Amino acid sequence: MSVANSAAERVTGRGRRIRWNVVEQALAGYLFILPAIVELVVFLLGPIIYSFVISFKHFSYLDPLDSHFVGFLNYVHLFEDPVFLRALWNTTVYALVVVPVQTAIAMMLAVIVNRIRGKTIFRVIYYLPSITSTVGVAVIFSFLFQPNGLLNRLLWILFHIQGPDYFNSPIFAFPAIMAVAVWTTAGQFMVIYLAALQEIPEELYEAAAIDGAQGFAMLRYITIPSLRRTTFLVVVLGMIGAFQVFDLVYVISSASSLPQQYTMTVVLDLFEKGFRTMQMGYASAMGFVLFAIILILTLIQQLWLGREDA
């Protein structure tokens, strides 16, 4: 009997040690990720919740004691604010132009670079604009787009056309900003496409070649369909970046004599309201409307892609 009891105690003790080891490992894991969780709560989740709360308030950091609850008034006022509506229109146009153009250019560059020697060199060259300072890019293009800048000199030499002062023209300022944005982002997305191209099985091209497909047919029926999910990623990332455009527009608008309405975007308007006029509750409401727009557009694209995959 005592032998049986001793065996049972040994089994029980071994079970406890195993459970304790499991608890120790779990505890060690949680301790390792604790700093990241604290950082996310303090610097990301906490500010999001706080800004959502103050979006229903009249709130200014200059006089926080005067804050009071206004319900949905900030959200209603947004759609009566001509500056916000102009900024939303400009941002939508910016996204509708920049995202398709940068996606098409990125895919085209990736397909070309994937088939030539010196792939790494071209990858670096095209990616450089993405890691260049936005201020530096804006300054460079402000020289190129001057009335007597390089672009206008080329237009005069080649076609005898006197170009405009791009960043100070109501017609050309925003398209010029979009052109700069495409130049800075196309290389970044080209690298993503280039990685995706390596995953397409060579057997698909060999089978298509046996069936008589060549050149553009290969691109139309093999390459582009195989890059569908990558294109979805690129479009979503591009759209998020387009709706959040700020730094490039801010730098160029600050140096331009043009009224800001011509180049106003939603995030620039948010910055003006939140940090210049200190209407932080109103600016928070603007931020959540922008979040809702991006979320809805992303879900629509996800549903569209899911239906194609079904």
Identify the residue whose tokens are 């301790």: 31
pLDDT (0 to 100) of residue 106: 93
State which residues of the chain have pLDDT below 50: none
Which CA distances in Å does 36 have to 25, 39, 44, 93, 109? Answer: 18, 5, 11, 38, 38
For residue 95 the two structure tokens come to 């996204």
Q: Which sign, positive or negative, has the C-alpha torsion 165, 106, 93, 85?
A: negative
Q: Which fold has domain 81-306?
A: MetI-like fold (1.10.3720)
CA distance 137 to 84: 27
Residue 2 pLDDT: 60
Domain chopping of the chain, boundaries: 22-72, 81-306
Nearest to 234 by CA among 135, 113, 102: 102
Chain centroid to CA 265 = 15
Q: How far apart are CA 44 and CA 246, in angstroms?
A: 20
pLDDT for the residue 144: 87
